[in-house]
A and B are shown apart, each in its own frame.
Chain A
């Protein structure tokens, strides 16, 4: 066995997994606080990536100005979606809310096609192009630097949720909405905050993934691939999203390298099937017990 090759493949997979973890985090934050599975997360990623393209490409801003602007734009979009389209659905069945998020996804694709057209796009280069070597192992620079930016964002999130007032309010609402409400936490504001933070994580991941794999109005499909990550990790578990994201990224890449690209998805879905059989609530998800 060529261990150097295995090491290089694994590094690439782990780095891509870091970005999956970031997208997974976007899913989980929203689900944990509001119990809404956001099927529009891929399209929010796509929208942020197009914003980056508009700022850095069309308006020729510095990419390092365009990046935060695009990410903020994506998170703002998340906040507006919650306020205008999700909040009125409070109390409705979860299927209805899911259908609303699917509808939002279609609207975003239409808006993007209207503004930027249907042509595939490449984002302006903003990450260093010099190859990265860890020992003898080569790592593509976009993946390496994308991973570092994503990891920095993950650490900021974890610190925020652990120590800030907003983070505590979010966790309290996620644990018990009624108790959080009775303790004076503005639950509606927390819902909105969850959409803003969830969309922010997804938006950053969107720009980083699009910088590697290109951008088109169909980019949002990646959101569904990451659904595997959050189901494996547990829909309401931040740790689960991180662990499963990194693992699924690694598995997908190793399966693709050794078995062929056509085995990437079957490999991850095989893991999903096994997890669903033995732990239907995911590796780290909460096992809800319904008392009758």
Chain B
């Protein structure tokens, strides 16, 4: 009696939820020609986390197709995007020192980056023999030894921060162009690798929610 309805669902690789009841509308963007059906599908419950604690669960899109097929057999589901996705459940808890703890951790990493990069440049200078190359250039161009650092050292010291600013594409919050910085790119790449590994592990250990 009813005509066929097609619904498109797009999934992201990883979604963060705060409630233990996970609805389809939270994990996918849903499009279909009938808004009422979109609403009904969005309200379907995909999963319920049993405990009030941080947890990650991997789902196959097939599970979603089955869920919709059971509730609304007249609907044709067309999934787009990731074939598997992660739902990360993080119950909202107000911890007092969360902000302070985060700044402590940031401070820790900042100190490691500061002293670490300082250490690295000095080891580079020593390893590459910068303190021999500059005197050599003075000797070749002036025909005599020089005592102490001069123009080359000053310019090199200017060039270093300049190079890093060019490379990282910003200083403090001021960006040179609108591209993300290399570390931001690397960060996303790392995140993607982690997500892919979580999905692979869940598949291999049979912990993925599948049909």
Q: Do A and B bind each other?
A: no
Chain B interface residues toward A at CB < 8 A: none
Chain A interface residues toward B at CB < 8 A: none
